[in-house]
Amino acid sequence: MIVFENLQDIVLVGHSYGGMVITGVADRVPERIRKLIYLDAFLPIDGESVFTANPTGRERIRSMEKDGMIVPPWVKADQPFPKDVPQSIKTFSEPIALKNPKLKEVPGVYILTVDPGKKPDEDTFFIFAERAKKRQWKYLEMIADHNPQWSKPLDLVSLIEGNK
């Protein structure tokens, strides 16, 4: 879509698994991306999959598997749109292939959501926040659960608006 619609100067936001997606997109068209915003998300390097990037979460993810699909507890068939849907477990085991050296030139922001009462280093995505810091990206913390788009949407919008 980015190429066919001739989109330029794009800000991509990836939440959770979406970090894998925006990294792959930016690898393909880095010249069209103004900024990447990772919201409590995977920040992969070449050759990593979700399972290899954070092996400590593998069992938790596998516990949500049903018939080859990941079905998180919040996914309900009777929810109105917009809603989450089951996702193939293969998307968690397939490694990302990053080939474009210009990907490193795309600026990024990492927003780590930290559950109230917890420390940032207790968060599942802390290792990716640390990876972002090593890249000299802007790092932000938000006291919220993993899904601030539901639990704190106005706070999240303000944070993103101030960093795009």
Instruction: List, for residues 86-137, the tens digit of each pLDDT value.
Output: 999 999 999 999 999 999 999 999 999 999 999 999 999 999 999 999 999 9
Provide the mean pLDDT of the chain.
94
What is the tens place of the pLDDT at every residue in 47-78?
Answer: 999 999 988 778 888 899 999 999 888 888 88
Do both 38 and 58 map to the same domain? no
Q: Are residues 21 and 102 in the same domain?
A: yes
Query: Residue 132: which of 2, 6, 12, 42 has the closest Cα?
Result: 42
Q: How far apart are CA 107 and CA 113, in angstroms?
A: 20
How many CB atoms are located within 10 Å of the residue 137 CB? 19
* Alpha carbon separation from 129 to 39, 87, 126 (Å, rounded): 10, 24, 5
The pTM (predicted TM-score) of the whole model is 0.92
| In a shared domain, residues 71 and 26 | no
One domain for residues 34 and 67: no
Domain count, the chain: 2
The tokens of 159 are what?
A: 């944070």
Is there a single domain that holds both residue 24 and residue 69? Answer: no
Of the three residues 94, 125, 150, the one that is the final residue of a domain is 94
Q: What is the pLDDT of residues 22-39, one digit of tens each?
A: 999 999 999 999 999 999
Residues 84 and 106 in one domain: no
Looking at the structure, do residues 110 and 71 belong to the same domain, yes or no?
A: no
Q: The domain containing residue 157 runs over which residues?
A: 1-47+97-164
d(CA 113, CA 108): 16
Residues 101 and 89 in one domain: no
Q: What is the dihedral of CA 75, 80, 81, 85, to 10 degrees?
A: 20
Question: Are 115 and 67 in a shared domain?
Answer: no
